Every structure is written in structure tokens, then in C-alpha cells.
Amino acid sequence: SSVSLQILFYVNGAYYIFYFLATLAMIVYKSQVFSYPDSFLAPDLALLFIMAILEALRLYLGSKGNLTEEEAPLGLSLVLTVGSALLCVYFLAWQTYVLQADVILGAILLFTYGLESVLEIAAIAAFVS
Amino acid sequence: VAKLCVCDLLVAQCDVNCCCDPDCTAAEFSLFTTCSIPIVTGDSRLCSQKAAIYSLDVEANPPERIFKLIDHINPNVFCIHTANYKQAFSFISPETPTSENFDQLLKQFGSATFSTEFDSWNINPDSQSSSGANETYRYEYGVPIQTVDAFVRLPSPVVSSWCSDANPAGFLVKQATKCSRLVSVEKCSTIQAVSMLFYINSSILAVSMHEFVFQVNITVQSIIVQSLNGMRTLLDSNEVLRLPTVLDELCINIVLGVSYHITYTEAGEIIEAAASFVLGAITKETLSIQQSFEISFTQVNTKPVPLSGNPGYVVGLPVRAGFRPHGYPLSNTDKHGQLTILQSTSNQDCLAAAGARTPVLFGYNMISGCKLRVTAATECQLLAQTLLDLLKGQNFPEYVASFGNSQAQDVLDWVPITHLHTSEQVKFALLLPPSCQIPVSLEIEVQWTKYGSLVNPQARIVNVTATVTSAALNQLPSGRERTVPITSSVVFTDISSPAEPGYKARPTINIKLPFDFFFPFV
């Protein structure tokens, strides 16, 4: 089992909680300050919650796969990472209002995903062989 | 951003001190002192945006305008990086009504004002009933008086002077309206609004919105018939319903005026309704008639006395006055004992005046007068008495109500009128032989004060003084005549003391030592 991957999962979990709360707070701020009609607010909030569920699942599967040294959960986690990355890009560029803070937080998260994907591929390669 | 210029107001002309104006030439720029708009940007919440900066370089000779297009960076971490919602920074344009969406827009935004149907008046009882089915609905001020099918209608002019039958009468809202209606002799029996039946047909619901409670029939109180030349006669038998009929090329019994009198109780129920009609006739040449309608309300078991304010006087309403016959409570019927002053007439001759008087309205200072021609033959004593009657009127009251709603039984609420007599030219009294005095002016001074709370002060009359000034009437040589001006005036003076600020009492610190504080020693 890869120690660095495990550490990365742990850090990712903590950072994601911060990211989720910050994005939620900023959506609330945007809805008060800017004109944010309900038809735009609902999809944004829905996607944020979907991303949270996806993230929790992904981290659990990845951590389990890493610790039990099985490829299947790690592979699934890798697939889910792609999904999470897409959602992160949505919140980075395609949201209704993208604030500078959104860009900064999203960039950090995307960088973390990239690092995780590389380490997961390395771990899968190590476990297969 | 480079093309936006808010100070460019004059078309094809250079605006002064407007550095972004495209109509200005370099020579005109050199005459400016400052730039009224130094920077033009878009929404300041965006992270990076173009900004046009205008400034004047006063060092150069002649001064020139400098125009720079830069990128303005917003350092705030919460600036908008991208806005994918395109309408975020502009106003939403409303829907343009077309023939397809007109009905839907009308239903959404139109209300009873623009609807042409009576259906929209029928208040849905489900939507208006509050919790508690046992609650009795009573009429409140302004609520339309309901009848069995619709509302009591008081036709009134809308926009033009033609009658519109859709004006409901409001409870306790005293209204009087006049409007014109198209009539013709041929159609006089078919036009509903000129027949008596239209106005007394449906009975009034005693209590709002309850159909199964008492219904009050509108009784015919009196009928006045107006002939073609305008003479009015009151009919004796007034229970008969007279419908428009054609008689010899005239149509008679056309309703020219209706006057409703509604009697109500304190609980807001209507117990009686009466209508007085004025019926007239029209000829073949009459194209339109003018109808007048009014409605008045009386509380049951009271005699209606028009109030001039509740409780303080309202500016513009007549000052109420009355008499006190020999110790009995005051009487203040509105016809007698009203405080009035002489009304100026067009010919300004005092003796020819018809005795026209105008009521004194609270808060309105008035002055009126007339000219008196004195000849040698005038008898002074008689003249003095006539003038006094002229100035004071027939029934000059003795008491004035201090509040607008003072009742006759509250004697303390009434202020006695103080009478003073002064005479002019006192200094000549020693030189000339005593001649008789004639009153030349009556000045009524009404002193009032603000009473009650600072937020809603009520006007209260404190003092009324009627001063009659007399002047000496010298004997004139025969053949000469003199004109003496006679004036009467009313002045309202505000004697309220200025408001004093009231401060709350300082808080006292209430410390008491316990009884056994010095226990071991005491």
C-alpha cells in the first residue's frame, strides 16, 4: 500500500470539506448580492451536493483499495476521480458566477486530483504486478 | 467602454468639461479646466475590465486631453471572474404584449380597475374568510355596500362626464356625484339607468357577505317631480313606483337624481335604507341629461350633526357655534347659530346687501366688507343699529365649540364669545362735540392651540373675541356725501406654547444595606 497515496487521500478529504463549505457559502453570498434566478441557482446547488457524495464515495473506495491492495476499488476510484474533476471544472469555469476565490479553490482541488490520479495509477500498477 | 460618454448631452455640440465628448476638437479641449468624468468602467465587481481614463494635461501649452484605455484589476478576492449568466448586469426587459399573450398578461397584472366585467367584484368568500366560521362580517369604512346581486351603485363620471354604472358606494363614505347620460324619447323605457326600479330593485345585505342574513329593502322616501322649466314639486304620495312612460312626445318619470340615506348601527350593520328621487321629463330634442347622486349615512338613534373634526378642528371645516337659551344645554343645529361673517357682494353697497353671509371656516382668515354712503340726511342711531345687524348677522352665536366634535350636552367644551367695543380716533374726542358712533368694523379673533400628543396635535379653540370698532359720524353739510368703508374679518391665531422636551427621570440607585450588615457590632 502506498503511504503517500494514503496521506493524499487524507489531505484531500480535509481540504474537500473546506472546499464544500466555502463554495456553499459563496453561492449563498452570490444569491444575495447578485441577481441569481432560481432556475440558475438550483442546478448549481444540486451539482455541489452530487460532487460531495461522489467525493466521499471516491475517497472511501480509494482508501479501501489502497489498504487492502486490491485493484478493483482503486480502479473504480480512478473513474470517479474523472467525474469529480469534471464537476470541479464546472465550478471553476461554467458556474453562473465564478468569483476569484472560486478559481483559487478549484485550481488547488484540481491539482490535488491530478496528483491523486498519478499515484493511483502507480498503485494499481504495483498491485497488479 | 471607449465609446461610452455620460456627459455628452448635447448632440453635435461640445459639452463643457466633458473630456469624452467626440464632438469636441482639440482647441475646445484646451479650454477645459477639469474633466467631469475621469474614468469610465463597466461593472466594478468584475475582476478585470477595460477602463477608459480621461485627463487633462495642464502642463502642456495649450492643455491637451489624454485618453488611455487600460485594464482595471479588481484586487478583491470575491470579484467576479466570469459571469455565465448573461443578463446579470442589465435590466430584464419586460414582456411585450402581443395578441397571443395579452389575455395571460391581463389576468396576471390587471385588477378590478381595468376589468369590464362585474364578475371580478364578487369577492370569493372562501378566500376572504378568516379562520373561524362563526365570525360575523360587518361593514367597515370604505367597504362596498353589497346588495343581493352586486353592489349599491352610485353612477359617477369616469374620465369624461358620461355616467359609469360601476362605481360602488362605500360604507360611511359620503359621496355626491354628477354625470351625464345619453337619453332619447324613443328609448326612454329601455334605458335602465333612468328608471326608478334600477336604483331600488335589489335589496341591501345588512351584513357584508352574508346572503342569508337580513336583507334591507330600499324604501322610497320622497319623490320630487321637476317640470321642463325647472320647477320642482314634492309629491304627496310617495310609495308609488313611477316608471318612465312616453306621454305626448315627452318621456316622463326620468330619474334625474337619487339621494340614498342609509341608517346603520354601531356594530356595522345596515338596518334601513331610503332613497329620495328627483324625476323629470325629456323632450324629443333632449340628447343627454345630467344625473346627480348622493349617499349619506346616519347612525341609528342619533341626530346627524356634521362634525368639524374629530376631535380637533380640521382646517377648512366650519366653526361650530350655538346658543344657550336660559340655562338649557346648548343647541347647535347647523342652520342656526353658525358663526358667519358678512359676505362681500359685487355692488359693495352695505345697505343694498341682501344679507348674504358666509360661514367662518377654521384656519381660514377672512376679510370682507362693503362701502357705506353717508349723506346729510342719514339718521345716525338707526344707521348704527343697521350696521351692527349687518356686521353681526341675525343670529350671532354666544358660544363656540372648542373641539370639532363637541356635543351639545358637554357645556364645558364650549367657549363663550367675548365682546369688546373700541372706538377710533379717541384723541379727537375732547375737541369735537360728542357725536354718535357707528360701528365700522367687526374683527373676530379666534385663538386656538394645539392639544394632545406631539405626534398628532389636535386644534382646539381656546378663546373667541369679537371686537366692534366704532367711529364717529360727523354731521355733513347738506348735499355732501361720504363713503365709509365697513369691514369684518376673522383671524385665527395659534397660541400653542412651543413643545418642551421631556426627559425621563434620572435613574436612582437604590441601595439599601441589609438590616444586619454590622451584625457583630450592632
CA distances from A72 to A54, A63, A127, B129, B412 (A): 17, 12, 10, 65, 102
Grid cell at residue B275: 332613497
Residue B432 has pLDDT above 70, yes or no: no
Q: Is residue B519 one of the residues assigned to a domain?
A: no
Banded model confidence at residue B271, pLDDT cuts 50, 70, 90 = confident
Kindly list the residues from chain A whose CB atom is less than 8 angstroms away from the CB atom of residue B78: 26, 29, 99-101
Instruction: Verify that B243 and B327 share a domain, yes or no.
Output: no
CA–CA separation, B402 and B413 (whole Å): 6
Instruction: Verify that B327 and B474 share a domain, yes or no.
Output: yes
* More confident site: B73 or B308: B73
Residue B128 has pLDDT above 50, yes or no: no
Instruction: Verify that B239 and B351 share a domain, yes or no.
Output: no
Nearest to B84 among A95, A101, A103 (CB): A95
* More confident site: B359 or B426: B359
Compute the nearest-CA separation of B91 from chain A (Å).
10
CA–CA separation, B439 and B386 (whole Å): 10
- CB spacing of A96 vs B84 below 8 angstroms: yes
Residue B22 has pLDDT above 90, yes or no: no
CA–CA separation, A103 and A93 (whole Å): 8
In this prediction, residues A34-62 reach a mean pLDDT of 92
Grid cell at residue B174: 359620503
Which span out of B138-152, B482-496, B502-516 was modeled with the highest average pLDDT? Answer: B482-496
| DSSP H helical ranges for B364-483 | 380-392
Residue B137 has pLDDT above 80, yes or no: no
pLDDT at site B437 = 80
The answer to whether A18 faces chain B, any CB pair under 8 Å, is no
Return the closest-CA partner of residue B271 out of B88, B139, B371, B445. Answer: B139
In this prediction, residues B210-217 reach a mean pLDDT of 72
Residue A42 has pLDDT above 70, yes or no: yes
In this prediction, residues A11-32 reach a mean pLDDT of 94
Banded model confidence at residue B115, pLDDT cuts 50, 70, 90 = low
Instruction: Verify that B352 and B262 share a domain, yes or no.
Output: no
Instruction: Verify that B226 and B268 share a domain, yes or no.
Output: yes
pLDDT at site B425 = 61
* More confident site: B330 or B16: B16
Dihedrals φ, ψ of B138, to 5°? -125, 165
For residue A29, how far is the Cα from the chain centroid? 22
Banded model confidence at residue B399, pLDDT cuts 50, 70, 90 = confident
CA–CA separation, A91 and A85 (whole Å): 10
Interface of B with A (CB under 8 A): 47, 76-85, 87-88
pLDDT at site A121 = 92
Nearest to A102 among B76, B81, B85 (CB): B81
- CB spacing of B83 vs A40 below 8 angstroms: no
Instruction: Verify that B61 and B165 share a domain, yes or no.
Output: no
Kindly list the domain boundaries of chain A, sorted by start residue.
3-128
In tens, the pLDDT along B273-307 reads: 888 888 888 888 888 888 999 998 888 777 666 77
Nearest to A100 among B81, B87, B88 (CB): B81
* More confident site: B413 or B448: B448
**B23: Cβ–Cβ under 8 A, 6 or more apart, which residues?**
B8, B10, B12, B13, B14, B15
Least confident segment among B42-56, B92-106, B124-138, B454-468: B124-138
**A23: Cβ–Cβ under 8 A, 6 or more apart, which residues?**
A48, A91, A102, A105
**B335: Cβ–Cβ under 8 A, 6 or more apart, which residues?**
none
Return the closest-CA partner of residue B292 out of B256, B341, B329, B340. Answer: B256
For residues A57-83, one letter each, b for 16 or more C-beta atoms within 10 angstroms of the residue's C-beta and e for the rest, the string is: ebbebbbebbeeeeeebbbbbbebbee
The answer to whether A27 faces chain B, any CB pair under 8 Å, is no
Instruction: Verify that B391 and B243 share a domain, yes or no.
Output: no
For residue A103, the tally of other CB atoms under 10 A from its CB is 17
CA–CA separation, B235 and B257 (whole Å): 15
**A53: Cβ–Cβ under 8 A, 6 or more apart, which residues?**
none
Q: Is residue B209 one of the residues assigned to a domain?
A: yes
pLDDT at site B113 = 61
Instruction: Verify that B366 and B441 share a domain, yes or no.
Output: yes
pLDDT at site B111 = 67
ipTM: 0.78
Nearest to B78 among A36, A40, A101 (CB): A101
Residue B257 has pLDDT above 60, yes or no: yes
pLDDT at site A25 = 95
CA–CA separation, B6 and B221 (whole Å): 70
Percent of chain A with pLDDT over 70: 100
Residue B362 has pLDDT above 80, yes or no: yes
Least confident segment among B122-126, B204-208, B383-387: B122-126
Banded model confidence at residue B123, pLDDT cuts 50, 70, 90 = very low
The answer to whether A99 faces chain B, any CB pair under 8 Å, is yes
CA distances from B114 to A15, B29, B103, B169, B235 (A): 60, 55, 12, 18, 41
pLDDT at site A7 = 94
Residue B369 has pLDDT above 80, yes or no: yes
**Which of B42, B73, B104 represents a domain boundary (last residue)?**
B73
Banded model confidence at residue B134, pLDDT cuts 50, 70, 90 = very low
pLDDT at site B129 = 39
**Which of B48, B73, B98 represents a domain boundary (last residue)?**
B73
Residue B259 has pLDDT above 80, yes or no: yes
- CB spacing of A96 vs B83 below 8 angstroms: yes
Grid cell at residue B99: 395578441
Compute the nearest-CA separation of B54 from chain A (Å).
29
pTM score above 0.80:
no
pLDDT at site B329 = 56
In this prediction, residues B227-244 reach a mean pLDDT of 79
Please compute Rg for chain A using Cα positions: 16
Q: Is residue B138 one of the residues assigned to a domain?
A: no
In tens, the pLDDT along B310-346 reads: 888 889 888 888 877 655 556 555 455 578 888 777 7
pLDDT at site B465 = 93
pLDDT at site B405 = 82
- CB spacing of A94 vs B84 below 8 angstroms: yes
In this prediction, residues B241-251 reach a mean pLDDT of 83
Instruction: Verify that B207 and B349 share a domain, yes or no.
Output: no
Could you say which residues from 78 to 97 on chain A have a Cβ atom under 8 Å away from some Cβ of chain B?
93-97
Kindly list the residues from chain B whose CB atom is less than 8 angstroms away from the CB atom of residue A104: 77
- The angle subtended at Cα B78 by Cα B86 and Cα B72, nearest 5°, is 75
CA distances from B314 to A21, B297, B311, B459, B460 (A): 62, 20, 9, 7, 10
Instruction: Verify that B267 and B335 share a domain, yes or no.
Output: no
Q: Is residue B309 one of the residues assigned to a domain?
A: no
pLDDT at site B337 = 56
pLDDT at site B492 = 93
Compute the nearest-CA separation of A100 from chain B (Å).
5
- CB spacing of B81 vs A99 below 8 angstroms: yes
pLDDT at site B114 = 61
Q: How many helices (H) and strands (E) does chain B have?
A: 5, 24
Which range of residues forms the domain containing residue B352? 317-425+434-494
Residue B136 has pLDDT above 60, yes or no: no
CA–CA separation, B189 and B73 (whole Å): 81
Q: Is residue B162 one of the residues assigned to a domain?
A: yes
Domain count within chain B: 3
Residue B434 has pLDDT above 50, yes or no: yes
Question: For residue B83, what is the nearest residue in chain A, using CA coordinates?
Answer: A97
* Cis bond upstream, residue B318 (ω within 30): no
Q: Is residue B390 one of the residues assigned to a domain?
A: yes
Least confident segment among B111-125, B377-391, B409-423: B111-125
In this prediction, residues B227-246 reach a mean pLDDT of 80
Instruction: Verify that B286 and B357 share a domain, yes or no.
Output: no
Percent of chain B with pLDDT over 90: 5
Least confident segment among A13-27, A60-74, B198-212: B198-212
For residues B40-49, one letter each, b for 16 or more C-beta atoms within 10 angstroms of the residue's C-beta and e for the rest, the string is: bbeeebbbeb
Q: Is residue B516 one of the residues assigned to a domain?
A: no
The whole-chain average pLDDT of chain B stands at 80
Banded model confidence at residue A103, pLDDT cuts 50, 70, 90 = very high
> Left if phi > 0, otherwise alpha if psi is -120 to 50, otherwise beta: which for A111?
alpha
- Interface A–B counts its CB contacts (< 8 A) at 45
**DSSP-assigned beta bridge partners for residue B460:** B449
Kindly list the residues from chain B whose CB atom is less than 8 angstroms away from the CB atom of residue A103: 81
Instruction: Verify that B254 and B384 share a domain, yes or no.
Output: no
CA–CA separation, B345 and B355 (whole Å): 10
CA–CA separation, A31 and A44 (whole Å): 11
CA–CA separation, B223 and B393 (whole Å): 35
pLDDT at site A109 = 95
pLDDT at site B210 = 60
For residue A72, the number of C-alpha atoms closer than 13 Å in the C-beta half-sphere is: 0
* More confident site: B173 or B426: B173
Grid cell at residue B81: 471572474
pLDDT at site A43 = 93
Question: For residue A36, what is the nearest residue in chain B, using CA coordinates?
Answer: B88
Percent of chain B with pLDDT over 70: 87
In this prediction, residues B366-370 reach a mean pLDDT of 89
The whole-chain average pLDDT of chain A stands at 92
